[in-house]
Protein backbone atom coordinates (compact mmCIF):
# COMPACT_ATOMS: atom_id res chain seq x y z
CA UNK A 1 0.00 0.00 0.00
CA UNK A 2 1.45 3.38 -0.89
CA UNK A 3 1.07 6.57 1.15
CA UNK A 4 -1.89 7.77 -0.95
CA UNK A 5 -3.84 4.54 -0.55
CA UNK A 6 -3.09 4.47 3.15
CA UNK A 7 -4.38 8.02 3.67
CA UNK A 8 -7.59 7.20 1.82
CA UNK A 9 -8.12 4.12 3.97
CA UNK A 10 -7.46 6.12 7.13
CA UNK A 11 -10.18 8.47 6.01
CA UNK A 12 -12.61 5.62 5.32
CA UNK A 13 -11.96 4.16 8.79
CA UNK A 14 -12.67 7.49 10.49
CA UNK A 15 -9.11 8.04 11.66
CA UNK A 16 -9.00 11.29 9.69
CA UNK A 17 -12.22 13.15 10.36
CA UNK A 18 -13.58 16.41 8.96
CA UNK A 19 -16.40 18.44 10.52
CA UNK A 20 -16.38 20.56 13.67
CA UNK A 21 -14.49 19.35 16.71
CA UNK A 22 -13.79 20.97 20.06
CA UNK A 23 -10.14 20.43 20.98
CA UNK A 24 -8.82 20.12 24.56
CA UNK A 25 -7.81 23.76 24.35
CA UNK A 26 -11.44 24.73 23.65
CA UNK A 27 -10.57 25.62 20.05
CA UNK A 28 -13.02 24.58 17.30
CA UNK A 29 -11.14 22.57 14.71
CA UNK A 30 -12.44 21.57 11.25
CA UNK A 31 -10.53 18.28 11.44
CA UNK A 32 -9.59 15.64 13.98
CA UNK A 33 -7.06 12.81 13.90
CA UNK A 34 -7.78 9.76 16.03
CA UNK A 35 -4.99 7.25 15.64
CA UNK A 36 -6.03 5.35 18.76
CA UNK A 37 -8.54 3.64 16.49
CA UNK A 38 -5.90 1.85 14.45
CA UNK A 39 -5.50 -0.95 16.98
CA UNK A 40 -8.81 -2.27 15.62
CA UNK A 41 -7.29 -2.76 12.15
CA UNK A 42 -4.11 -4.88 12.24
CA UNK A 43 -3.41 -4.49 8.52
CA UNK A 44 -3.51 -0.68 8.85
CA UNK A 45 -1.39 -0.81 11.98
CA UNK A 46 1.19 -2.80 10.04
CA UNK A 47 1.06 -0.42 7.08
CA UNK A 48 1.60 2.68 9.20
CA UNK A 49 4.32 0.97 11.19
CA UNK A 50 6.06 0.11 7.93
CA UNK A 51 5.85 3.71 6.76
CA UNK A 52 7.38 4.82 10.05
CA UNK A 53 10.02 2.12 9.80
CA UNK A 54 11.04 3.46 6.39
CA UNK A 55 11.83 6.75 8.15
CA UNK A 56 13.67 5.02 10.99
CA UNK A 57 15.63 2.22 9.42
CA UNK A 58 18.70 4.19 8.44
CA UNK A 59 18.92 5.94 11.81
CA UNK A 60 21.54 4.54 14.17
CA UNK A 61 19.28 3.85 17.15
CA UNK A 62 19.32 1.18 19.86
CA UNK A 63 15.68 1.46 20.94
CA UNK A 64 12.24 2.51 19.79
CA UNK A 65 10.01 4.35 22.23
CA UNK A 66 6.33 5.00 21.65
CA UNK A 67 4.53 7.77 23.53
CA UNK A 68 1.41 6.38 25.24
CA UNK A 69 -1.16 5.62 24.24
CA UNK A 70 -1.64 6.01 20.48
CA UNK A 71 1.98 5.34 19.54
CA UNK A 72 2.46 2.29 21.77
CA UNK A 73 0.89 -0.04 19.23
CA UNK A 74 3.04 1.49 16.49
CA UNK A 75 6.31 1.14 18.39
CA UNK A 76 5.56 -2.43 19.41
CA UNK A 77 4.62 -3.38 15.87
CA UNK A 78 7.82 -1.85 14.53
CA UNK A 79 9.92 -3.44 17.25
CA UNK A 80 8.41 -6.87 16.66
CA UNK A 81 8.56 -6.76 12.86
CA UNK A 82 12.15 -5.52 12.77
CA UNK A 83 13.58 -7.14 15.85
CA UNK A 84 14.33 -3.93 17.69
CA UNK A 85 14.33 -3.26 21.41
CA UNK A 86 11.42 -1.19 22.63
CA UNK A 87 11.11 1.03 25.66
CA UNK A 88 8.08 2.75 27.15
CA UNK A 89 7.81 5.98 29.06
CA UNK A 90 5.01 5.56 31.54
CA UNK A 91 2.11 7.96 31.45
CA UNK A 92 1.73 7.67 35.19
CA UNK A 93 4.35 6.41 37.64
CA UNK A 94 3.66 3.00 39.12
CA UNK A 95 2.62 3.11 42.76
CA UNK A 96 4.07 -0.27 43.73
CA UNK A 97 6.94 -2.48 42.70
CA UNK A 98 9.69 -0.93 40.64
CA UNK A 99 8.29 2.63 40.51
CA UNK A 100 10.07 3.10 37.20
CA UNK A 101 9.25 5.94 34.82
CA UNK A 102 10.81 4.24 31.83
CA UNK A 103 10.28 0.53 31.22
CA UNK A 104 12.60 -1.62 29.17
CA UNK A 105 16.23 -2.66 29.18
CA UNK A 106 18.75 0.03 28.35
CA UNK A 107 22.08 1.52 29.37
CA UNK A 108 22.89 5.15 29.95
CA UNK A 109 24.09 6.57 26.63
CA UNK A 110 21.93 4.26 24.49
CA UNK A 111 20.26 5.96 21.54
CA UNK A 112 16.53 6.02 21.07
CA UNK A 113 14.01 7.23 18.53
CA UNK A 114 10.72 8.47 19.95
CA UNK A 115 7.40 8.08 18.15
CA UNK A 116 4.13 9.89 18.61
CA UNK A 117 1.04 9.78 16.42
CA UNK A 118 0.62 13.50 15.80
CA UNK A 119 2.84 16.49 16.42
CA UNK A 120 0.95 19.71 17.11
CA UNK A 121 2.57 22.13 19.58
CA UNK A 122 5.39 19.72 20.40
CA UNK A 123 5.16 20.46 24.11
CA UNK A 124 4.14 17.00 25.26
CA UNK A 125 6.82 15.47 23.05
CA UNK A 126 9.51 17.78 24.43
CA UNK A 127 8.48 16.96 27.98
CA UNK A 128 8.64 13.24 27.22
CA UNK A 129 12.07 13.67 25.66
CA UNK A 130 13.33 15.54 28.71
CA UNK A 131 12.29 12.67 30.97
CA UNK A 132 13.87 10.03 28.72
CA UNK A 133 17.07 12.07 28.61
CA UNK A 134 17.12 12.35 32.39
CA UNK A 135 17.15 8.54 32.41
CA UNK A 136 20.35 8.66 30.35
CA UNK A 137 18.96 7.99 26.86
CA UNK A 138 20.32 9.93 23.91
CA UNK A 139 17.68 11.18 21.52
CA UNK A 140 18.31 12.95 18.24
CA UNK A 141 15.33 11.84 16.17
CA UNK A 142 11.60 12.08 16.64
CA UNK A 143 8.95 10.43 14.49
CA UNK A 144 5.27 10.99 13.94
CA UNK A 145 2.59 9.94 11.53
CA UNK A 146 1.29 13.46 10.99
CA UNK A 147 2.78 16.90 11.40
CA UNK A 148 -0.19 19.19 12.01
CA UNK A 149 1.99 22.07 10.74
CA UNK A 150 1.06 24.15 13.74
CA UNK A 151 4.52 24.89 15.10
CA UNK A 152 5.51 21.66 16.87
CA UNK A 153 8.10 20.64 14.31
CA UNK A 154 9.82 24.04 14.54
CA UNK A 155 9.77 23.91 18.35
CA UNK A 156 11.37 20.46 18.34
CA UNK A 157 13.97 21.52 15.79
CA UNK A 158 14.81 24.53 17.92
CA UNK A 159 15.51 22.06 20.71
CA UNK A 160 17.89 20.24 18.33
CA UNK A 161 15.74 17.23 17.49
CA UNK A 162 15.32 16.06 13.91
CA UNK A 163 11.67 15.45 13.10
CA UNK A 164 10.49 12.88 10.55
CA UNK A 165 6.82 12.56 9.69
CA UNK A 166 4.97 10.26 7.28
CA UNK A 167 2.57 13.08 6.31
CA UNK A 168 1.97 16.75 6.82
CA UNK A 169 -1.67 17.72 7.14
CA UNK A 170 -1.23 19.57 3.85
CA UNK A 171 -0.21 16.34 2.09
CA UNK A 172 -3.16 14.48 3.55
CA UNK A 173 -5.51 17.23 2.36
CA UNK A 174 -4.09 17.04 -1.15
CA UNK A 175 -4.59 13.27 -1.25
CA UNK A 176 -8.13 13.47 0.11
CA UNK A 177 -9.13 16.25 -2.26
CA UNK A 178 -7.72 14.36 -5.25
CA UNK A 179 -9.50 11.23 -4.03
CA UNK A 180 -12.75 13.21 -3.77
CA UNK A 181 -13.09 12.42 -0.08
CA UNK A 182 -13.36 16.06 0.99
CA UNK A 183 -14.80 19.14 -0.68
CA UNK A 184 -12.84 22.13 -1.89
CA UNK A 185 -14.47 24.08 0.97
CA UNK A 186 -13.29 21.59 3.61
CA UNK A 187 -9.85 21.66 2.04
CA UNK A 188 -9.65 25.45 2.26
CA UNK A 189 -11.21 25.70 5.72
CA UNK A 190 -8.71 23.22 7.07
CA UNK A 191 -5.74 25.00 5.51
CA UNK A 192 -7.01 28.33 6.87
CA UNK A 193 -7.42 26.82 10.31
CA UNK A 194 -3.86 25.50 10.30
CA UNK A 195 -2.41 28.82 9.21
CA UNK A 196 -4.47 30.82 11.70
CA UNK A 197 -3.79 28.52 14.63
CA UNK A 198 -0.09 28.22 14.69
CA UNK A 199 0.64 27.21 18.28
CA UNK A 200 3.52 28.95 19.94
CA UNK A 201 5.40 26.55 22.15
CA UNK A 202 6.48 29.35 24.45
CA UNK A 203 2.92 30.61 24.78
CA UNK A 204 1.78 27.13 25.77
CA UNK A 205 4.49 26.84 28.38
CA UNK A 206 3.45 30.23 29.73
CA UNK A 207 -0.17 29.09 29.87
CA UNK A 208 0.81 26.04 31.90
CA UNK A 209 2.87 28.13 34.27
CA UNK A 210 -0.16 30.29 34.84
CA UNK A 211 -1.99 27.17 35.97
CA UNK A 212 0.74 26.66 38.56
CA UNK A 213 0.26 30.21 39.74
CA UNK A 214 -3.46 29.51 39.91
CA UNK A 215 -3.06 26.48 42.13
CA UNK A 216 -0.77 28.43 44.42
CA UNK A 217 -3.05 31.43 44.42
CA UNK A 218 -5.91 29.20 45.51
CA UNK A 219 -3.78 28.25 48.50
CA UNK A 220 -2.80 31.86 48.91
CA UNK A 221 -6.38 33.05 49.24
CA UNK A 222 -6.80 30.93 52.34
CA UNK A 223 -3.64 31.79 54.18
CA UNK A 224 -2.95 34.82 56.18
CA UNK A 225 0.66 34.28 57.04
CA UNK A 226 2.91 36.61 55.04
CA UNK A 227 5.74 34.07 54.93
CA UNK A 228 3.54 31.57 53.12
CA UNK A 229 2.75 34.17 50.51
CA UNK A 230 6.43 34.96 50.22
CA UNK A 231 7.28 31.30 49.66
CA UNK A 232 4.60 30.92 46.98
CA UNK A 233 5.99 33.91 45.13
CA UNK A 234 9.54 32.60 45.30
CA UNK A 235 8.42 29.22 44.01
CA UNK A 236 6.60 30.57 40.98
CA UNK A 237 9.28 33.13 40.20
CA UNK A 238 12.21 30.69 40.49
CA UNK A 239 10.22 27.71 39.20
CA UNK A 240 11.53 25.74 42.11
CA UNK A 241 9.86 23.37 44.56
CA UNK A 242 13.20 22.42 45.98
CA UNK A 243 14.21 22.82 49.60
CA UNK A 244 17.81 21.82 50.17
CA UNK A 245 18.53 20.38 53.58
CA UNK A 246 22.00 21.64 54.48
CA UNK A 247 22.86 19.03 57.09
CA UNK A 248 26.57 19.80 57.18
CA UNK A 249 28.75 20.27 60.24
CA UNK A 250 30.42 23.64 60.04
CA UNK A 251 29.53 27.24 59.38
CA UNK A 252 31.82 27.44 56.36
CA UNK A 253 30.34 24.30 54.81
CA UNK A 254 26.79 25.55 55.30
CA UNK A 255 27.48 28.98 53.85
CA UNK A 256 29.36 27.54 50.87
CA UNK A 257 26.51 25.09 50.18
CA UNK A 258 23.87 27.82 50.48
CA UNK A 259 25.70 29.98 47.98
CA UNK A 260 26.07 27.10 45.51
CA UNK A 261 22.53 25.77 45.62
CA UNK A 262 20.93 29.18 46.27
CA UNK A 263 19.86 29.88 42.67
CA UNK A 264 17.94 26.59 42.50
CA UNK A 265 16.06 26.44 45.79
CA UNK A 266 13.04 28.05 47.35
CA UNK A 267 14.13 27.15 50.88
CA UNK A 268 17.32 26.22 52.71
CA UNK A 269 16.62 23.88 55.58
CA UNK A 270 18.99 23.79 58.56
CA UNK A 271 19.60 21.86 61.75
CA UNK A 272 21.36 24.79 63.28
CA UNK A 273 22.18 22.97 66.53
CA UNK A 274 24.37 20.60 64.51
CA UNK A 275 26.74 23.35 63.42
CA UNK A 276 29.83 22.84 65.58
CA UNK A 277 31.14 26.38 65.31
CA UNK A 278 27.81 28.21 65.41
CA UNK A 279 28.07 31.87 66.32
CA UNK A 280 25.76 34.84 66.00
CA UNK A 281 27.34 35.76 62.69
CA UNK A 282 26.00 32.62 60.99
CA UNK A 283 22.33 33.71 60.87
CA UNK A 284 23.45 37.12 59.62
CA UNK A 285 25.38 35.55 56.77
CA UNK A 286 22.61 33.08 56.01
CA UNK A 287 20.12 35.92 55.79
CA UNK A 288 22.39 37.76 53.37
CA UNK A 289 22.57 34.67 51.14
CA UNK A 290 18.81 34.17 51.41
CA UNK A 291 18.36 37.69 50.17
CA UNK A 292 20.96 37.35 47.43
CA UNK A 293 19.40 34.19 45.99
CA UNK A 294 15.81 34.73 47.10
CA UNK A 295 15.07 31.72 49.31
CA UNK A 296 13.62 31.20 52.78
CA UNK A 297 15.46 29.98 55.86
CA UNK A 298 13.80 26.88 57.27
CA UNK A 299 15.02 25.71 60.68
CA UNK A 300 13.99 22.10 61.18
CA UNK A 301 14.03 22.33 64.98
CA UNK A 302 11.03 20.00 65.49
CA UNK A 303 9.96 21.36 68.86
CA UNK A 304 8.36 18.51 70.78
CA UNK A 305 8.38 19.46 74.41
CA UNK A 306 5.69 21.06 76.55
CA UNK A 307 4.73 24.55 75.42
CA UNK A 308 6.73 26.29 78.12
CA UNK A 309 9.99 24.68 77.02
CA UNK A 310 9.25 25.00 73.32
CA UNK A 311 8.88 28.75 73.83
CA UNK A 312 12.34 28.93 75.40
CA UNK A 313 13.87 26.73 72.71
CA UNK A 314 12.39 28.97 70.04
CA UNK A 315 13.67 32.24 71.47
CA UNK A 316 16.72 31.44 73.61
CA UNK A 317 20.24 32.58 72.73
CA UNK A 318 22.64 31.68 71.34
CA UNK A 319 20.59 30.08 68.54
CA UNK A 320 17.78 32.69 68.76
CA UNK A 321 15.80 30.81 66.11
CA UNK A 322 12.83 33.15 66.32
CA UNK A 323 15.00 36.05 65.18
CA UNK A 324 16.16 34.66 61.87
CA UNK A 325 14.18 31.59 60.77
CA UNK A 326 11.39 32.24 58.25
CA UNK A 327 9.97 28.81 58.95
CA UNK A 328 10.35 26.34 61.81
CA UNK A 329 9.00 22.83 62.36
CA UNK A 330 7.00 21.69 65.36
CA UNK A 331 5.76 18.27 66.42
CA UNK A 332 2.27 18.09 67.87
CA UNK A 333 2.99 15.05 70.02
CA UNK A 334 2.27 17.31 73.00
CA UNK A 335 -0.98 18.49 71.38
CA UNK A 336 -2.04 21.78 69.86
CA UNK A 337 -0.75 23.57 72.98
CA UNK A 338 2.70 23.41 71.37
CA UNK A 339 1.52 25.57 68.50
CA UNK A 340 -0.37 27.88 70.84
CA UNK A 341 2.68 28.30 73.06
CA UNK A 342 4.86 29.25 70.11
CA UNK A 343 2.20 31.75 69.10
CA UNK A 344 2.30 33.18 72.60
CA UNK A 345 5.95 34.18 72.12
CA UNK A 346 4.65 36.93 69.85
CA UNK A 347 7.35 35.92 67.37
CA UNK A 348 5.19 34.32 64.69
CA UNK A 349 4.50 37.46 62.69
CA UNK A 350 7.39 36.76 60.38
CA UNK A 351 8.09 33.13 61.18
CA UNK A 352 5.61 30.49 60.05
CA UNK A 353 5.27 27.00 61.49
CA UNK A 354 5.26 23.66 59.72
CA UNK A 355 3.61 20.83 61.62
CA UNK A 356 5.37 17.48 61.46
CA UNK A 357 2.45 15.18 60.90
CA UNK A 358 4.28 12.12 59.67
CA UNK A 359 7.90 11.00 59.56
CA UNK A 360 9.69 9.42 56.64
CA UNK A 361 11.33 6.59 58.59
CA UNK A 362 10.34 3.02 57.85
CA UNK A 363 9.21 2.30 61.44
CA UNK A 364 7.70 5.67 62.28
CA UNK A 365 5.15 5.74 65.09
CA UNK A 366 3.09 8.43 63.37
CA UNK A 367 0.02 6.24 62.90
CA UNK A 368 -2.95 6.97 60.65
CA UNK A 369 -4.88 8.43 63.55
CA UNK A 370 -1.95 10.56 64.69
CA UNK A 371 -1.44 11.97 61.22
CA UNK A 372 -5.10 12.89 60.87
CA UNK A 373 -5.14 14.67 64.20
CA UNK A 374 -1.93 16.49 63.34
CA UNK A 375 -3.48 17.64 60.04
CA UNK A 376 -6.46 18.87 62.01
CA UNK A 377 -4.35 20.89 64.41
CA UNK A 378 -2.45 22.38 61.48
CA UNK A 379 -5.69 23.32 59.75
CA UNK A 380 -7.16 24.91 62.83
CA UNK A 381 -4.01 26.98 63.38
CA UNK A 382 -3.75 28.10 59.78
CA UNK A 383 -2.98 31.69 60.67
CA UNK A 384 0.49 30.62 61.86
CA UNK A 385 0.88 27.20 60.20
CA UNK A 386 2.14 27.19 56.64
CA UNK A 387 1.74 23.50 56.09
CA UNK A 388 2.60 19.98 57.13
CA UNK A 389 5.39 17.51 56.65
CA UNK A 390 3.95 14.17 55.64
CA UNK A 391 4.51 11.17 53.45
CA UNK A 392 0.93 10.89 52.18
CA UNK A 393 -1.39 12.89 49.96
CA UNK A 394 -1.86 16.59 50.62
CA UNK A 395 -4.54 17.21 53.24
CA UNK A 396 -7.85 18.73 52.09
CA UNK A 397 -6.61 19.92 48.76
CA UNK A 398 -5.06 23.38 48.54
CA UNK A 399 -5.59 24.34 52.17
CA UNK A 400 -2.17 23.56 53.55
CA UNK A 401 1.11 23.19 51.78
CA UNK A 402 2.66 19.76 51.80
CA UNK A 403 6.38 19.37 52.46
CA UNK A 404 8.06 16.09 51.80
CA UNK A 405 11.50 14.93 52.95
CA UNK A 406 12.72 11.48 52.07
CA UNK A 407 13.41 12.43 48.46
CA UNK A 408 16.36 11.07 46.56
CA UNK A 409 16.78 10.22 42.88
CA UNK A 410 19.66 7.84 43.44
CA UNK A 411 18.87 5.60 46.44
CA UNK A 412 15.93 4.04 48.26
CA UNK A 413 17.03 4.58 51.87
CA UNK A 414 19.90 4.80 54.33
CA UNK A 415 21.27 2.51 57.06
CA UNK A 416 19.28 4.25 59.78
CA UNK A 417 15.67 3.93 58.75
CA UNK A 418 15.30 6.77 56.26
CA UNK A 419 13.22 5.85 53.20
CA UNK A 420 13.33 7.69 49.89
CA UNK A 421 10.97 8.41 47.02
CA UNK A 422 11.70 9.74 43.55
CA UNK A 423 10.46 13.37 43.14
CA UNK A 424 8.25 12.25 40.26
CA UNK A 425 6.38 9.90 42.57
CA UNK A 426 6.04 12.43 45.38
CA UNK A 427 4.48 14.98 43.07
CA UNK A 428 2.30 12.71 40.97
CA UNK A 429 0.99 10.50 43.78
CA UNK A 430 0.76 12.89 46.66
CA UNK A 431 0.46 16.44 45.35
CA UNK A 432 3.57 17.54 47.22
CA UNK A 433 4.34 21.27 47.10
CA UNK A 434 7.93 21.33 48.29
CA UNK A 435 10.40 18.47 48.25
CA UNK A 436 13.21 18.38 50.78
CA UNK A 437 16.50 16.91 49.63
CA UNK A 438 19.55 16.60 51.87
CA UNK A 439 22.25 14.05 51.14
CA UNK A 440 21.06 13.68 47.55
CA UNK A 441 22.47 17.17 47.03
CA UNK A 442 25.11 18.06 49.61
CA UNK A 443 26.94 14.74 49.34
CA UNK A 444 27.00 14.87 45.55
CA UNK A 445 30.20 15.80 43.77
CA UNK A 446 28.75 19.01 42.41
CA UNK A 447 25.88 20.25 44.62
CA UNK A 448 25.05 23.18 42.33
CA UNK A 449 24.54 20.97 39.28
CA UNK A 450 22.70 18.34 41.31
CA UNK A 451 20.41 20.97 42.83
CA UNK A 452 19.71 22.25 39.31
CA UNK A 453 18.75 18.69 38.27
CA UNK A 454 16.44 18.23 41.27
CA UNK A 455 14.92 21.63 40.57
CA UNK A 456 14.21 20.72 36.96
CA UNK A 457 12.84 17.25 37.68
CA UNK A 458 10.77 18.47 40.63
CA UNK A 459 9.24 21.38 38.80
CA UNK A 460 8.45 19.25 35.77
CA UNK A 461 6.89 16.60 38.00
CA UNK A 462 4.85 19.32 39.61
CA UNK A 463 3.63 20.59 36.25
CA UNK A 464 2.77 17.04 35.27
CA UNK A 465 0.79 16.61 38.48
CA UNK A 466 -1.55 19.45 37.58
CA UNK A 467 -5.05 18.14 36.95
CA UNK A 468 -5.56 19.32 33.37
CA UNK A 469 -2.69 18.59 31.07
CA UNK A 470 -2.44 20.32 27.71
P1 LIG B 1 18.24 13.38 53.57
O2 LIG B 1 19.73 13.50 53.60
O3 LIG B 1 17.63 13.80 52.19
O4 LIG B 1 17.74 12.02 54.02
O5 LIG B 1 17.74 14.47 54.65
C6 LIG B 1 16.42 14.60 55.02
C7 LIG B 1 16.23 15.80 55.92
O8 LIG B 1 14.84 15.95 56.18
C9 LIG B 1 16.92 15.71 57.26
O10 LIG B 1 17.36 16.99 57.63
C11 LIG B 1 15.83 15.24 58.22
O12 LIG B 1 15.96 15.82 59.50
C13 LIG B 1 14.58 15.82 57.56
N14 LIG B 1 13.38 14.97 57.78
C15 LIG B 1 13.27 13.68 57.33
O16 LIG B 1 14.18 13.14 56.70
N17 LIG B 1 12.13 12.96 57.56
C18 LIG B 1 11.10 13.47 58.22
O19 LIG B 1 10.08 12.79 58.39
C20 LIG B 1 11.22 14.82 58.69
C21 LIG B 1 12.36 15.52 58.44
BR22 LIG B 1 9.84 15.58 59.58
Catalytic residue (one of 302, 376, 429, 456): 302
Lining ligand 1 with CB less than 6 A are: 245, 247, 271, 300, 356, 359-360, 389, 405-406, 408, 418, 436-440
- Asked if residues 52 and 115 have their Cβ atoms less than 8 Å apart, the reply is yes
Q: Using the mean position of ligand 1's atoms as its centre, give its distance from the Cα of residue 245 in Å.
A: 8
Catalytic residue (one of 62, 305, 376, 429): 305
pLDDT at 426: 84
**E strand intervals along 124-283:** 138-147, 162-168, 242-245, 267-270
Q: What are the phi and psi torsion angles at 149 (to 5°)?
A: 55, 40
Helix then strand count (H, E) for the chain reads 18, 16
* CA–CA distance, 128 with 139 (Å, rounded to integer): 11
The proportion of the chain whose per-residue pLDDT surpasses 90, expressed as a percent, equals 63
What's the CATH code, domain 213-469?
Answer: 3.20.20.70
DSSP letter at 274 equals G
- Residue 286 pLDDT > 50, yes or no? yes
Query: Which atom from ligand 1 is nearest to the alpha carbon of 389?
Result: 22
Tens-digit pLDDT profile for residues 104-130: 999 989 999 999 999 987 877 887 887
* CA–CA distance, 286 with 434 (Å, rounded to integer): 20
The residues of the chain that CATH labels 3.20.20.70 are 213-469
Pick one of 3.40.50.2020, 3.30.70.1400, 3.20.20.70, 3.40.50.11540 as the CATH number of 3-201. Answer: 3.40.50.2020
- Residue 221 pLDDT > 80, yes or no? no
pLDDT band at 470 (very low <50, low <70, confident <90, very high): very low
| Window from 33-42, 386-395, 450-459 with minimum mean pLDDT | 386-395
**Cα-to-chain-centroid distance, residue 465:** 6
The residues of the chain that CATH labels 3.40.50.2020 are 3-201
Tens-digit pLDDT profile for residues 52-85: 999 998 988 999 999 888 899 999 999 999 999 9
Amino acid sequence: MNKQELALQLFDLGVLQFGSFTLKSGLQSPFYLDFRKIIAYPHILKEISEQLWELTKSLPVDHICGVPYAALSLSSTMATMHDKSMIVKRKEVKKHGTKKIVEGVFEKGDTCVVIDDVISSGISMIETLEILEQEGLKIDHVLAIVDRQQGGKDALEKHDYQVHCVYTVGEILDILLAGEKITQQQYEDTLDFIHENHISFEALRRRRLKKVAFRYSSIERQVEHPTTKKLLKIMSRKRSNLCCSGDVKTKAELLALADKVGPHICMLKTHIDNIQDFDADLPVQLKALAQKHNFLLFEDRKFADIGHIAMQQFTAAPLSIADWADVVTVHVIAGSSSVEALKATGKLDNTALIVVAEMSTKDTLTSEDYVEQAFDIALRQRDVVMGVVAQRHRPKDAELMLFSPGINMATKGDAHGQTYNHPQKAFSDRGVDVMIVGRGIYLSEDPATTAAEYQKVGWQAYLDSLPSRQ
